Structure 1
Amino acid sequence: MITTESNTRPKEIKKVTLGDGDVSLNEIIAVARYDAEVLFSQDYDDRVNLSRSVIEKFLEEERVIYGVTTGFGSNVTQNISAEDAETLQKNIIRSHAVSVGAPLEKEVVRAIQFMILVNLGIGFSGVKLATLELLRSLLNHQITPFAPGEGSVGYLSPEAHMALVLMGEGKAWYNGELIPGSEALEKAGLQPVTLGCKEGLALTSGTTSVTAFASLALYNSIQVTKTADIAGALSLEALKGTIKAFDPRTHEVKRHVEQAGTARNLVKMLQGSEIAEKYQDYRLQDALSLRCIPQAHGAVKKVLKDAEFTICNEINSSSDNPLIITENQGDALMGGNFDGTYVGIYADTMAIAMANLAKVSERRLDRLVNYHVSELPNFLVAKPGLNSGYMIPQYTAAGLLNEIRVLAHPATVDNTPTCASQEDVVSFAYFAAKKAYQIAKKLENILGLELMAAVQALDFHRPLKPSPVSQKVYELIRSAVPTVEEDRYFYPDIEFITNLINEGEILNAVELIMGKLDW
């Protein structure tokens, strides 16, 4: 078993041991975002060493194996001598490090590095343990390779930039400074490795960058969707909405457990609310952005559940090519496990789901600041006209929603053949996963804006008290975001609330009161 429980919050996981069981989503986040230490079990070491011994045997037998004794891609017809094997591996790293644009964020690079360790440690890749130990040391010594993040069709280029550092080349951040890779290793007391046959290919191939992006996107999406239930409850309360739309009898006749669970969440969160109690019969029924929270949020949750199943399967699968089989006399299976279509399609689907959640949140935000429908002061400020209040935050949400809608276009439906048409079908799963990650972060901002406005709206209901759950969220936000009496600089307020969402603090505070939200 893994040394840490999968339901432990990522920031509480200090060590992750690879090799004795499946890796959980929370463990990936622990390493990528919170710098948890990575360890190898004895089983991990044994599998890697056995796989490497088979590769060495193949070399002695002079077997023809793709990427070991042949060139890459359409160069598969070119035989490579044993003497040139090391040069071949260096060349693949150098020639493939051609992604462009801004460098990937630290947590993304760390997630990819971690996924490489997971993938190659399953025991079907034939790499040397020393190479993986150095890669682990980069993570544990906070060495972050410089890896431009644009121009990948599914894998290869960003991974190649990272692998350069293992060879003492490329660039990396160490102690906040971007320096040559060789210098970063030296300062950390590490030595570069000489890549042997198969290793350059193994370090660049596979679905590692796709699963890394998808894992970060999935974790953020699950967390933000749970937080959306909380934001929806506060908005409904502030807008005098009726909780009658969440009567369990309504949701029992619709065969979606996520819908019924969301309705239960809202009822539980609004228990004890003087505001909800007073206004439960105020309207016959509310606008769809309030009345249909269970249906809209529930559908998103179903997508994320399906995505989690598929992405976690991919995380714990071997996506290398060729695969080194150690049983009997050993074998090398040349196939296509590097293809990222499984994850790519679900990343595209997550993007569409997040776009749907974003449009509902933005509509609730608009209702909060729009006095024509809110029955609250215009833009939630006591002296509108002189003050713009929360007028422009809704513009920000509208702009973010536009960006999300564009990014929600599926990437995996596209195709541009590469490698002289040897690779005539390309998954484009890399960008599918990358944009899902981008969308989840933009959605955090939209939910943050909704929560900021909802908390302000509750101020106008005094002396009526909100529910204990709403009061806790109110206090958490008001610890740094005071009530708006007149216009001020709102950016720090927005950043504070968005960070609470990203760190799971709002969700954790609510669950400490009412227990785990239905999911």
Structure 2
Amino acid sequence: MNSTETRHPKDIKDVLLKSHSVSMNDFIAVARYGAKVSFSQDYCDRVNHSRHLVEKCLEENRLIYGITTGFGDNVTQVISPKDAERLQRNIVRSHAVSVGDSLEKEVVRATQLMMLISLGQGYSGVRLDVLQLIASLLNHDVMPFVPGDGSVGYLGPEAHMALVLMGEGLVLDQGELIPGKEALKKAGLEPVTLGCKEGLALTSGTTSVMAHALLALYNGIQSAKTADIAGAMSLEALKGTLKAFDPRYHSVKRHKEQAGTAENILRILDGSDITEKYKDFRLQDAHSLRCIPQMHGAAKKALKDALDTIMDEMGSTGDNPIIYPEGDDGIGLMGGNFDGSYVGIYSDAMCIAMANLAKISERRGDRLVNQHFSGLPNFLTANPGLNNGYMIPQYTAAGLLGEIKVLSHPATVDSVSTSAGQEDPVTFAYLASKKAYTISKKLEYILAIELMAAAQALDFHGTLQPSLASKAAYNLIRSRVPIVEEDRYFYPDIESIKEQIHEGDILRAVENVVGELQF
């Protein structure tokens, strides 16, 4: 694992693509925070050798899919070498048919980075000049306009990005759409003429699927740890007992994520006056409090399994065909490495895992604002009736949870045949990963609402002090969100805390006190 894995992505300014896949933090540094990309000599050597082999195949007019044949059901149509460049232009133009609004900037950048990682493995035959232009788009912050709807697995979004490399398509420039050729010129860049196999390689594979999945996974892992913080603060504010977190209890169930979560809660609440005073207040708490280790732990396990699978995919070549080097020559191998089933299935699993984190967080948030459960002023306002307090933010959390439930239906169990039956099952992995990305952001809002309520609830405990870790999170929240004494416009409050979750600020504040939380 790269040494930068321990650094926060926003602190990573340069990422060198070498002989292995990049770390998660490196990936997020480029996609989200604009780190610059460069290539190692080993990377360049692999790419140049692979290109040499493709050109050899073309010169000898070997029958290889997408090089000397048409695409999809047109595989039976033989293409002459003199039409190789035209074939590649045509695949990009004809496949740029996704529709709707553009994908978010970080998703577009993540897809471009995945192109560099996948095509740089040395099996795709794309020229180094083409990959350098993609890196230049990233480094010069040139943002292709990439409609995000209508893909069954990949192809469409990637083709819109490839158009810009050709000096075609559209680019988002300071909120305006401008022609790709004009955008390249403004950045001091020149378009390329795609050669043999390059159009196919740029549109094939799991790049846009992986882009969504990696961003969702990063958000999900960060939220899973933050959920422990939110759960601990809610437990503290609700006078919960720590009996359900006894390590002896968790030692008899063979799930290390469960035991790790229980340990996290104990570490976060260590030294709390509130918890100490109310340790015997109840014999047993409601599920949303005492089942934190089990429910959070199960979600973490699913996310960890997804992490292993998705990082394996990052280090893979999702192209078809590949040119496999054999000595000074190579052989064209054709199959289905573009298939996104691995990423799609685990993206569906991520959706379910994050939905479970969302549902327990929403229930804790409801308990915090409900006087019948909390023993605190109704809706956490000192003057209920005249003030609604946090009554309606709970509605927002419930609404978001309803949306997450719908989005958690697995996409990869479905299929619609395409390309005249040549592509008879399709993965819908693109939809699965896109859903996971959407859910990951909705989960952050639900956690933000819980943390907002938990901070307010702690204020009703008078002189009793929360734990140092809870106080660290509380102080960070209060730096942006003041105590609620009467009703106000709560939207900025929710957005502020959500941003603190998204940027990892709350997690870092707590880990600065207790050390790294287990995942």
TM-score bucket of the superposed structures, by smaller chain: over 0.9
Residue 213 of structure 1 is matched in structure 2 by: 212
Return the offset for 1:369. 0.3
Return the offset for 1:327. 1.6
Q: Matches of residues 340-489 of structure 1 in structure 2 within 5 Å?
A: 340-489=340-489
The aligned amino acid for 1:76 is V
Please state whether the residue corresponding to 2:441 is helix, strand or coil.
helix
Please state whether the residue corresponding to 1:178 is helix, strand or coil.
strand
The aligned amino acid for 2:462 is R
8 Å CA contact 1:142, 1:174 repeated in 2: no
> Given the alignment of the two structures, is residue 126 of structure 1 paired with residue 125 of structure 2, yes or no?
yes
Residue 503 of structure 1 is matched in structure 2 by: 503
Return the offset for 1:326. 1.8
Residue 144 of structure 2 is matched in structure 1 by: 145
Superposition TM-score, scaled by structure 2 size: 0.99
Return the offset for 1:176. 4.6
8 Å CA contact 1:477, 1:497 repeated in 2: yes
Residue 517 of structure 2 is matched in structure 1 by: 517
Residue 41 of structure 1 is matched in structure 2 by: 40
Please state whether the residue corresponding to 2:148 is helix, strand or coil.
strand
- Distance in 1 (alpha carbons) for counterparts of 2:349 and 2:277: 40
- Distance in 1 (alpha carbons) for counterparts of 2:99 and 2:331: 37
Please state whether the residue corresponding to 2:5 is helix, strand or coil.
coil
Deviations 1:361-409 (A, max 9, x none): 0000000000111100000001111110000000000000000000000
Please state whether the residue corresponding to 1:330 is helix, strand or coil.
strand
Return the offset for 1:245. 1.0
Residue 315 of structure 2 is matched in structure 1 by: 316
- Distance in 2 (alpha carbons) for counterparts of 1:153 and 1:327: 34
Residue 224 of structure 1 is matched in structure 2 by: 223
Residue 20 of structure 1 is matched in structure 2 by: 19
Residue 184 of structure 1 is matched in structure 2 by: 183
Gaps of 5+ in 2: none
Return the offset for 1:173. 2.1
Residue 306 of structure 1 is matched in structure 2 by: 305
> Given the alignment of the two structures, is residue 88 of structure 1 paired with residue 96 of structure 2, yes or no?
no
Instruction: Compare 171-180 and 346-355 and name the one that shifted more.
Output: 171-180
Please state whether the residue corresponding to 1:6 is helix, strand or coil.
helix
Please state whether the residue corresponding to 2:384 is helix, strand or coil.
coil
8 Å CA contact 2:320, 2:334 repeated in 1: yes
Residue 245 of structure 1 is matched in structure 2 by: 244
8 Å CA contact 1:19, 1:122 repeated in 2: no
Residue 336 of structure 1 is matched in structure 2 by: 336
Instruction: Compare 150-159 and 78-87 and name the one that shifted more.
Output: 78-87
- Distance in 1 (alpha carbons) for counterparts of 2:177 and 2:503: 27
Deviations 1:442-497 (A, max 9, x none): 00000000000000000000111100011111100000100000000001100000
Deviations 1:395-428 (A, max 9, x none): 0000000000000000000011100000011011
Deviations 1:316-362 (A, max 9, x none): 10110000112233100011000000010000011011111111000
Cα RMSD between the aligned structures? 0.9
Residue 50 of structure 1 is matched in structure 2 by: 49
Deviations 1:229-275 (A, max 9, x none): 00000000000000111111110001110000100110111111100
Residue 169 of structure 1 is matched in structure 2 by: 168
Please state whether the residue corresponding to 1:127 is helix, strand or coil.
coil
Q: Matches of residues 154-165 of structure 1 in structure 2 within 5 Å?
A: 154-165=153-164
Residue 76 of structure 2 is matched in structure 1 by: 77
Please state whether the residue corresponding to 1:102 is helix, strand or coil.
strand
- Distance in 2 (alpha carbons) for counterparts of 1:60 and 1:85: 11
8 Å CA contact 1:344, 1:428 repeated in 2: yes
8 Å CA contact 1:119, 1:316 repeated in 2: yes
Return the offset for 1:175. 4.4
The aligned amino acid for 2:518 is D
The aligned amino acid for 2:476 is L
The aligned amino acid for 1:103 is S
Residue 280 of structure 2 is matched in structure 1 by: 281
The aligned amino acid for 2:21 is D
Please state whether the residue corresponding to 1:326 is helix, strand or coil.
strand
- Distance in 2 (alpha carbons) for counterparts of 1:173 and 1:6: 31
The aligned amino acid for 1:20 is S
- Distance in 2 (alpha carbons) for counterparts of 1:318 and 1:27: 19
The percent identity for this pair of structures is: 69
Gaps of 5+ in 1: none
- Distance in 1 (alpha carbons) for counterparts of 2:351 and 2:398: 17
Return the offset for 1:12. 1.0
Deviations 1:148-201 (A, max 9, x none): 001000110000001100000111123454311111100000000000010000
Return the offset for 1:221. 0.2
Return the offset for 1:26. 1.1
8 Å CA contact 1:448, 1:494 repeated in 2: yes
8 Å CA contact 1:146, 1:172 repeated in 2: yes
- Distance in 2 (alpha carbons) for counterparts of 1:326 and 1:267: 54
- Distance in 1 (alpha carbons) for counterparts of 2:464 and 2:406: 42
Return the offset for 1:5. 2.1
8 Å CA contact 1:210, 1:343 repeated in 2: yes
Return the offset for 1:82. 1.3
Deviations 1:19-64 (A, max 9, x none): 2332111111000000000000000100000000011111110111
- Distance in 2 (alpha carbons) for counterparts of 1:472 and 1:164: 49
8 Å CA contact 1:221, 1:354 repeated in 2: yes
Please state whether the residue corresponding to 1:5 is helix, strand or coil.
helix
Residue 256 of structure 1 is matched in structure 2 by: 255
Please state whether the residue corresponding to 2:6 is helix, strand or coil.
coil
8 Å CA contact 2:68, 2:81 repeated in 1: yes
The aligned amino acid for 1:146 is F
- Distance in 2 (alpha carbons) for counterparts of 1:398 and 1:189: 49
Please state whether the residue corresponding to 2:313 is helix, strand or coil.
helix
The aligned amino acid for 1:413 is V
The aligned amino acid for 1:345 is I
